[in-house]
Amino acid sequence: MFIKKIEIKNFRIFSNNKSFEIDNINAPSGVRGSGLTVFVGENGCGKTTILDAIALPILEYKADSFSIKDLNDVQEKSEVKIFSQEKFSVDGTMPKGNFDAKGFSFEARTRSQGNKSYLSSSIVSDQKFISCDPNKPKENSPDLRVAVNNPFKGKRFSENDIIFLDKNRLFQTKTGNFNGTRFDRLMSDLNHQYLKSLEGDITNLNQEFFDKKIKEKKVENGFLVDAIQKFKEFSGVGVRLDFLDNCEPFKNAFFSVKKDNNQQLLLSGLGSGYEMIFSIIYSFFLSKQSGKQLIILIDEPELHMHPNLQERFIELLLEFSKDAQIIITSHSPLLVKQLSFNDLVKVLIVKKEGISLLEERVLPFVSANETNYLAFGLPTEEYHNELYNEIEASFWNDENNDFKTLRDEGGYDKKDCRQIVFDNEFFSKKQKEPIDRNFKNIKNKVTVHTFIRNQIHHQRENGKTDICNLKSSIEKMRNFINQF
């Protein structure tokens, strides 16, 4: 099950008046970049809320953490729906009760009544399947509730592995306190293999002997070995499992790097960037082992990540997005720029009023300055220069535009330079822009575009660029390039 569409209502910044919808989210198709979707936007626009909303219907611990502060209007219920790319089968609570579903929903509201006999939250919530047939199961049937298991099989839907790395980086490589993690399940299975191999011979083991024992008894997980090897290829660091308990060695196991003096450096000691990357690699390979489809949600992966590491991390995301659905938020123009080299990656601009695709680029190359403008609405002097230089180069590359001929036939002063001729011929005569700005000390000699260009390069003589004029000039020049 991969996600196609999200509907959010009355959750944090998203109001109760209408659903906030995001459609056509990327799903993996076996090609690099096909499963990767990036949400960008200003602070407070709802990027993090979108990731949390996706997690609410499918992750139990996220649903349990929902509080009254998450309601935009405390008098109304909060609703989140996620729709799948294709329908999927769900076991009924009883035999022969299977049904097809098209997604998951989450609902939460304040309790209607209090109960003084025990302490309870002021919020009641539920996670449900969205059935393809509205009459099967019936609206209030237990079959629709995700938390209700099949008494003969247990959990009724297990096609997906979900990894959610929020800003607090809740990793999948550590044991859980209240909710068992993927790491717990893996270690439990390894404990079972280990104890079964001992045949009652529980020995006081030192580290070296235990490592040898594990190899002799073939207590292993090939996908975990692959994940550790992949991380070593990525980072150059050899991570390993270390142990504390002789009877249940994997119960308190942890990932570490062994130093030359036998000290153990915890995985977290490598830095949060490396720890997050290992979590993704580890989760990806374990999902392959289980044959499950993997959904990865990451809130601002660039946090605490060096630009060089970002570049390698992007390659990893693109590789994994062939098979996994990856949804991230970002404030990094470098990350967005590098992802934009892949045409299949979908970059979505988040605004409170809705979602829009990243506008079409007009420059013939991928520019961080253009990314800043399109993704974050930031008009920069560097982007103005790139647009201006692109237009000027295109103008002079036209075989019909000869500098001397244009100057002689256009009535220019013999001292007028190429830039004045270009400005007057292209911006004024062709694009009908007024010549009302100074060029050096000459009044009314050029248009606003060349004036700003000279302000950028000669601020002492021309003064600082006005942000409103800068943005207006950028917009006009983008339109001019589109006309070529």
- DSSP secondary-structure letter at 33? T
pLDDT of res. 219: 58
- What pLDDT digit, counting tens, does each position of 385-402 carry? 999 999 999 999 999 999
Read off the pLDDT band of 150 (50, 70, 90).
Answer: confident
Residues 360, 339: Cα–Cα separation, whole Å: 15
Decide if 401 contacts 394 (C-beta within 8 A).
no
pTM of the model as a whole: 0.79
Residue 161's identity, in one-letter code, is D
Residues in Cβ contact with 50 at an 8 Å cutoff, skipping those fewer than 6 apart:
6, 8, 22, 39, 329, 350
Phi then psi for 126, rounded to 5 degrees? -155, 145
Percent of the chain with pLDDT over 90: 37
End-to-end CA distance of the chain: 44
pLDDT of res. 269: 77
Pick the closest to residue 66 from 117, 19, 6, 127 (CA basis): 127
Phi then psi for 193, rounded to 5 degrees? -60, -40
pLDDT at 328 over 80: yes
Residues 77, 259: Cα–Cα separation, whole Å: 54
Decide if 32 contacts 326 (C-beta within 8 A).
no
What's the angle, vertex CA 371, arms to CA 388 and CA 464, rounded to 5?
Answer: 50
pLDDT of res. 204: 46
pLDDT of res. 391: 96
pLDDT of res. 77: 93
Please indicate whether residue 307 or residue 202 has the higher confidence score (pLDDT): 307
Long-range contacts of 62-65 (CB under 8 A, 24+ apart): 62/164, 63/106, 63/108, 63/125, 63/127, 64/125
The SS3 call for residue 473 is: helix
Read off the pLDDT band of 177 (50, 70, 90).
Answer: low
pLDDT at 195 over 80: no
Please indicate whether residue 259 or residue 238 has the higher confidence score (pLDDT): 238
Domain boundaries, the chain: 381-482
- State the SS3 of 92-132: CCCCCCCEEEEEEEEEEEECCCCCCCCCCCCEEEEEEEEEC
Read off the pLDDT band of 297 (50, 70, 90).
Answer: very high
Rg (CA), the chain: 29
Please indicate whether residue 153 or residue 309 has the higher confidence score (pLDDT): 309
Average pLDDT over residues 311-332: 91
- Order the strands of the 264-266 sheet from edge to edge: 240-242, 254-258, 264-266
Q: Which two tokens stand for residue 286?
A: 């374990």
Mean confidence (pLDDT) of the chain: 84
pLDDT at 161 over 90: no
pLDDT of res. 172: 62
pLDDT at 467 over 70: yes
